[in-house]
Amino acid sequence: MKTSLGICQRKRRFATREEADAVALRADTTLRAYKCALCRAFHLTSRTKGLRVPRAV
Ligand SMILES: [Zn+2]
């Protein structure tokens, strides 16, 4: 999966998948944790199909 640098820097970062999942569970929308190839931390995305990089809402 490709992640653009701009998206990476804008998004919230989590050191572990557990941490990201914990936040995802509390969110109103369905979020999915994925490992970022750029910063090697985890980000959350609301895109669950195809897992394309979400654009800013
Ligand atoms: Zn990142």
Cα(25)–Cα(16) distance, integer angstroms: 14
Q: Which two tokens stand for residue 34?
A: 């994925």
pTM recorded for the entire structure: 0.72
Give residue 7 CA to ligand 1 midpoint distance, Å. Answer: 7
Give residue 35 CA to ligand 1 midpoint distance, Å. Answer: 8
Res. 51 pLDDT band, cuts 50 70 90 = low
Give residue 50 CA to ligand 1 midpoint distance, Å. Answer: 18
DSSP string, 1-57: ----HHHHHHS--BSSHHHHHHHHHHSSS--EEEE-TTTSSEEEES--STTPPPPP-
Amino acid present at 4: S
Q: Which protein residues have their CB within 5 A of the ion that is ligand 1?
A: 8, 36, 38-39
pLDDT digit string (tens) for 11-44? 899 999 999 999 999 999 999 999 999 999 999 9
Give residue 28 CA to ligand 1 midpoint distance, Å. Answer: 22
